[in-house]
């Protein structure tokens, strides 16, 4: 089954508001030819509303990078799904490896966050991926299986329509080391198989699975042409229009 690609830029903790406005505007102006490929910009919370304002007359979507699962309350420093929605965002990244590594995110909290996002009508980009140690000790498949099955526990087939999975091997994030297209394809196919087992083949065929980890203009086409790679979650290369746009264009041409 042919699935249109989805390219998301995870801006992480980069870009103040004037830089964010400028980058969003450049991407909007220079992506008017893009018709099939979905583009999602994920700026920091502080620039969400501003970036939405900048791209709202285009087909570019906006996403947050995290959320807290409670609706509201005394949770200093946290942001709810409803608050994200009110900034005009349609997506939220959940369970990024940096959240898991530095902020104690677990499969159980990933699961709560996904449910809170979906309940508010947000779509979730759910990240999974193994560390270097895990890859080298041969437990990649096991780690991915646990993250997918525990992370998505209790979701319905309908919920899955609003989910994207991002496979991001931790050792490839920000290191310049990209998984080979074959390594990435192998895990993507495994993830699709897990979704098939958990939710059925109709869901598995449709779900989009992005690859993330040092995606650049130079490697985008070979990665994106793998049968189970439906897009990219881009970090470093999404911070400049000159390096983000060629990745989107590579996706559009496939």
Question: What x-and-dash track marks residues 82-101 binding ligand 13P by CB under 6 A?
Answer: --------------x-----
Identify residues 137-196 at the interface with ligand 13P (CB under 6 A). Answer: 168, 173-174
Residue listed under structure tokens 């940096």: 98
- DSSP codes, 200-218: -HHHHHH-EEEEESS--HH
Residues that are catalytic: 96, 168
Nearer to ligand 13P, 231 or 236 (CB): 236
Please tell me whether residue 38 binds ligand 13P under the rule CB under 6 A.
no
Please tell me whether residue 200 binds ligand 13P under the rule CB under 6 A.
no
Specify the stretch interacting with ligand 13P by CB under 6 A; choose among 55-63, 79-87, 184-192, 227-235. Answer: 227-235
Helix/strand/coil (H/E/C) assignment for every residue in 19-73: HHHHHHHHHHHCCCCCCCCEEEEECCHHHHHHHHHHHCCCCCEEEECCCECCCCC
Chain residue at closest Cβ approach to ligand 13P: 235
Classify 167 as helix, strand or coil.
Answer: strand
Residue listed under structure tokens 């087939």: 157
Number of residues that bind ligand 13P (CB under 6 A): 14
Residue 202: Cβ-neighbour burial (10 angstroms; 0-12, 13-18, 19+): exposed
Q: Where are the alpha helices (DSSP H) in 139-200?
A: 140-151, 157-160, 181-199
Nearer to ligand 13P, 119 or 132 (CB): 132
Residue 76: Cβ-neighbour burial (10 angstroms; 0-12, 13-18, 19+): exposed
Q: Which of 236, 244, 245, 247 binds ligand 13P (CB under 6 A)?
A: 236
Please tell me whether residue 219 binds ligand 13P under the rule CB under 6 A.
no
Rounded Cα gap, residues 197 and 204, in angstroms: 9
Please tell me whether residue 105 binds ligand 13P under the rule CB under 6 A.
no
Q: From the CB of 73, what's the least distance to ligand 13P, in Å?
A: 28
Nearer to ligand 13P, 127 or 155 (CB): 127
Please tell me whether residue 44 binds ligand 13P under the rule CB under 6 A.
no
- Rounded to a whole number of angstroms, the distance between the first and last alpha carbons of the chain is 14
Specify the stretch interacting with ligand 13P by CB under 6 A; choose among 30-38, 56-64, 150-158, 229-237. Answer: 229-237
Residue listed under structure tokens 């074959």: 182
Torsion sign (Cα): 187, 223, 7, 38: negative
Nearer to ligand 13P, 60 or 233 (CB): 233
Nearer to ligand 13P, 117 or 215 (CB): 215
Please tell me whether residue 63 binds ligand 13P under the rule CB under 6 A.
no
């Amino acid at each position: 089954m042919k699935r249109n690609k989805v390219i998301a830029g995870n801006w992480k903790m980069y870009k103040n508001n004037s830089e964010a406005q400028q980058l969003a505007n450049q991407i909007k102006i220079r992506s008017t030819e893009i018709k099939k490929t979905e583009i999602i910009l994920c700026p920091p919370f502080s620039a969400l509303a501003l970036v939405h304002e900048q791209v709202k007359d285009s087909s570019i979507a906006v996403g947050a990078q995290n959320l807290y699962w409670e609706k509201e309350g005394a949770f200093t420093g946290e942001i709810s799904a409803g608050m994200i929605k009110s900034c005009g965002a349609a997506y939220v990244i959940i369970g990024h490896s940096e959240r898991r590594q530095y902020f104690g995110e677990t499969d159980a909290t990933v699961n709560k966050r996904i449910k809170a996002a979906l309940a508010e009508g947000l779509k979730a980009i759910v990240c999974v991926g193994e560390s270097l140690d895990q890859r080298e000790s041969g437990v990649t498949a096991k780690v991915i299986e646990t993250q997918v099955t525990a992370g998505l526990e209790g979701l319905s087939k309908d919920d899955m329509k609003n989910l994207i999975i991002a496979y991001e091997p931790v050792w490839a994030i920000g290191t310049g080391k990209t998984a080979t297209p074959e390594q990435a394809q192998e895990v993507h196919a495994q993830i699709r198989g897990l979704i098939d087992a958990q939710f059925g083949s109709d869901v598995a065929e449709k779900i989009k699975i992005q690859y993330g980890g040092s995606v650049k203009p130079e490697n985008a086409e070979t990665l994106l042409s793998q049968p189970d790679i439906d897009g990219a979650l881009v970090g470093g290369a999404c911070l400049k229009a000159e390096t983000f746009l060629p990745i989107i264009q590579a996706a559009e041409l496939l």
